[in-house]
Structure 1
Amino acid sequence: MFQALKSLSLKRWPWLLLAFTALLFEASGLYFQYVLNFQPCIKCIYIRAAFLGILVAGLIGAFAPRHPLGRFVANLAWLCAALYGFWQAQELVAIEQTLASGGFTTCALFADFPSWLALDRWFPAVFEVTGTCGGVSWQFASLSMAQWSKIIMLSYSVVSVVVLASQFSRLNKNPYRD
């Protein structure tokens, strides 16, 4: 299994597929915002930033799939972005649960991106906070958007760890050998 995963990671299309899936999730977030009028909270924006990180990681991997350092950087960026997205989604789920149980909680109204990565100022249509945390206005299969984001980011994280672990396996030089 690890040899097959490493062999796949040496090709361009799996990395492009990773970038494409992240792009689809970015597009779905924008669809929810601009078509269905669900305004994103700070945690939603940070989850969008994590999807952007995964998209960029996929592009890095697609740019240099045969270069070990390129694959390592891409995989590390993928893992970091997915874990960050999972953490933000977990916090949003906790906020939703607190509010659902009658508690009170609040979150920031403005993004706190570092000055060298001011996504909210560079791309306000995508990364500007326009909503507040905790309101569950959409569910699918009895899970909120935050819960789905948590599952998706956890899945990205697990796959990234497995692909990263596969990089330490050796590929067979003889394709006819078992």
Structure 2
Amino acid sequence: MLIPKSRHLHILAFLAVIGLLATAMFFEHVMMLEPCPLCITQRIAFLILGLTSLIAAIHNPAGRGLRVYGGLILTFAIVGAGLAIRQLYLQGLPPEEAPACMPGIGYLADVLPMNELIRVMFSGTGDCAEVQWRFLGLSIPGWTLIAFIGYSLFGVLEMIRKRDIVR
């Protein structure tokens, strides 16, 4: 099986992240869906994935470099998948078991110390348990989980590929 050049795949991965983040901005600013702390943290994970892919495309590595970038992409994708799974878990809880709702993330950033803000960003709040949008039966974190799984597979591909082959 012929696999496109690594540089082309990284450019596609970067463009996919741009599309995902543009979709998030559309949801927030056009559909007026307020992002929760876990949503914002997943956006950051996508941003890091996109920047890693952009740097890899510019660098155009071979050999060990492919494995390093692949490992970074796999690591960030696994972290993002963990965040999406956490949000799906919160969305599956009965309302009485969901964590308490908190003020918006802007207010929390102003009043909470950094270590507490990071804890809230990674653990979620009651806002993270609210399902605001569905498509084909999946909520937003369900779709982001699929994207993170795709990036994980891409990271593994970059780690195991021997060389760039193109027709």
Q: Give the TM-score category using the shorter length.
A: 0.7 to 0.9
SS at match of 2:127: coil
Pick one of 140, 147, 156 that aligns with 1:145.
140
What displacement does 1:171 show? 7.0
Q: Which residue of 1 aligns with 2:34?
A: 39
Distance 1:67 1:23 in 2: 25
Structure with the higher fraction of residues in helix conformation: 2
Q: Which residue of 2 aligns with 1:8?
A: 5
TM-score (norm 1): 0.72
The sequence identity of aligned pairs, in percent, is: 26
- The count of residues paired between Structure 1 and Structure 2 equals 151
Alignment of 1:39-118 (within 5 A): 39-99=34-94, 102-106=96-100, 109=105, 110=108
Pick one of 16, 36, 39 that aligns with 1:21.
16
Distance 2:100 2:82 in 1: 17
Output the amino acid matched with 1:47.
Q
What displacement does 1:170 show? 5.7
CA distance 1:41–1:99, shift in 2 (3 Å)? farther
Which blocks of at least 5 consecutive residues in structure 1 are unaligned?
119-128
Q: Which residue of 2 aligns with 1:30?
A: 25
**Are 2:155 and 1:157 aligned?**
no
Distance 1:85 1:77 in 2: 12
